[in-house]
Structure 1
Amino acid sequence: HSLPVPLSSGNEVQINFVNLGYKCNIHFLEHIQINLNIDYSRRGNLQIFLISPKGSLTMLLTLRHKDSYVMGFKNWNFTSVHLWGEDPRGHWRLIVRDPKNDTQKGKVTKATLILHGTDKPAGCLRYGPRRYQDEDLISQTIDRTPVLRVYSLY
């Protein structure tokens, strides 16, 4: 499957980035960048999550009730350092969701994942990965609704 991918209220799409990171020297992430084009009739309804090859869940965008912009996101960069130190090699999953039950619709027309990192671990990781107090709160924001559409990008 390829983009564009349709999306509507009460639904989600999952876009897969497979076999990433094997042809580069990045073994320890510093940050990730997702560049997206999303045409959507109410931008504030959207949630965006990224799941790393190790299973770490990162929220890139939460619901914004006062954001009624009708043009979506054009060449928009979402970044995170949440995955600092992880090995980026493998299968990444991007989830774009509209959990509202209304009549919004649109499509994801571009999704590019860019990995930034090094081939050696940062000094702060020599004693193992960091653990943050509120880290478990992120998984509570995603319900267990099954993924309705899965697309793979190569």
Structure 2
Amino acid sequence: MKIDTNACAGSTSEVRYLEHVQAVVSANATRRGDLELFLTSPMGTRSMILSRRANDDDSRDGFTKWPFMTTHTWGEYPQGTWTLEARFNGGTAPSSATGWLRGWSLVLHGTRAPPYAQLQAQDPHSKLAVVKKAHEDNAPE
């Protein structure tokens, strides 16, 4: 499932630099513990926000508006398409779990100003260098 966002561009609540992100998810499954969730940012960062839980046998309650959080997108430019991927992982045996995603929303936490203005990237492939470059490429003209 996908959500496109402009991150409140042009408003006083605009987020240009992410601190953390919450995917608020409602889902049910025949075995909740086999459900895994992954969130992918517009910049391509893929975060596991829910891992397999061997002792979670719930088949009734599921998740209702549960906020799952990631900090892996720190400093990223949030505008664009976010993707939520749900899959079942039954461990070593094939999973017979089934389920359905009832809905999800996205909460972006961050700032309009760069949180790392005084930091210098030591490695051109570091997260800091990558997000600084992305912001330079997306700067308003």
- TM-score, length-scaled by structure 1: 0.68
Q: One-letter code of the match for 1:77?
A: P
Alpha-carbon distance in structure 2 between the residues aligned to 1:125 and 1:108: 42
Q: CA RMSD in A?
A: 2.0
What's the counterpart of residue 85 of structure 1?
75
SS in 2 for 1:123: coil
| CA distance in 1 between partners of 2:6 and 2:35 (Å) | 26
Distance in structure 2 (CA, Å) of the matches to 1:125 and 1:93: 32
Q: RCO (CA 8 Å, sep 6+): is it higher in 1 or 2? A: 1
**Measured at CA, do residues 121 and 39 of structure 1 come closer, stay the same or move farther in structure 2, by a change above 3 Å?**
same
Equivalence for 1:59? 48
1:27 corresponds to which residue?
A: 16
- Among 109, 112, 116, the alignment partner of 2:109 is 116
Higher strand share: 1
1:85–1:125 contact (8 Å) kept in structure 2? no
Partner residue, 2:31: 42
- Whether contact under 8 Å (2:39, 2:84) holds in the other structure is yes
Structure 1: distance between partners of 2:86 and 2:43: 19
- Which deviates the most, 108-117 or 118-127? 118-127
CA distance in 1, matches of 2:84, 2:118: 26
Alignment of 1:107 onto 2:104: no
Q: Would you say how many aligned residue pairs link Structure 1 and Structure 2? A: 117
Instruction: Give the percent of matched residue pairs that are identical in Structure 1 and Structure 2.
Output: 32
TM-score, with length taken from structure 2: 0.74
The answer for the alignment partner of 2:4 in structure 1 is: 18
Larger radius of gyration: 2
Q: Which runs of 5+ in 2 are unaligned?
A: 122-126, 130-141
Question: 2:96 is matched by which residue type in structure 1?
Answer: T
